[in-house]
Structure 1
Amino acid sequence: MDRFLSHATNRIDAKGRVSVPATFRAVLASRDIRELYCLQDFIFPAISCGGPDLLERYERQLAGMDPFSPEANRMSLLVHGGGVFMKLDPEGRLMVTDFIRAFTGITEEVTFVGRADHFQLWQPQAFHEAQATARSERGFSGPRSG
């Protein structure tokens, strides 16, 4: 499978690292992604992570704009000012930096959420609340009892 699907929650270790789920590492390997572009999501309190193609997608969009327009400047502020490059260590762990913690509220655990061509890092409760809201807005109220 060449997509990031599902979600998983992993604990942050004493050194501030978290193991990226094996299924997500397999997608990174199949796409030969060695360095992650990570940016603060535009809507959710989450960090979006993908390969260089994720940054290139945003930069193509920026290239189609007037570079002096307020919209292009806002977009660049988010894409470039809210983004960093990160690498996994040899064991497939990601350092949970202050950049990640401050934006997401992550403390002890990280929920990895597949988003097809990239994945996101969430504070677990925030993810569950956002997913419940999305279900509710789609008209799904949850399983019926009894």
Structure 2
Amino acid sequence: MTLHLSRLLQITVLTTCAFTSAALADGVADTARDWGLIGTWAVDCSAPPVKGRGTIISYEIASDGSLIYRRDHDASDLNEIADARVDPDQTLVLSIVLSKARQTRENGIAKTADGSIRSVFNRGEDGSYTIRDGRFVANGKLTPALRKCD
């Protein structure tokens, strides 16, 4: 009898975890959709993608409901977005799991007056920034505005 109850409890816990995980994925995708992020974005939508350059960025909802980030239409450059939230200043903050780099980075995206988007920060779990205050840390240049392609 105890074995039966133990198995029933295990099944209940696993089922609850599966539903919770799916609900969280839906919440992340819903946040991005409501903010207006879903789709393909580029500085120049007519330019061809250049693998590894990040000239075309896509935010897509996968068949399982999770949110993914893809660069340059490259099937091998596909990353899960584990969390999404909108800060009080309307910055969309994404927690992107970069599996190839074995790290998670937080990327803040702001809308501009003309409807394009710009990265305003990008930081690692260690607190290191590649983008801060809308500028690349390495050279001080402003991040480019990306326009929606589709």
TM-score normalised by structure 1 residue count: 0.30
Bigger radius of gyration: 2
Name the structure, 1 or 2, with higher relative contact order (CA <8 Å, separation 6+).
1
More helix by share: 1
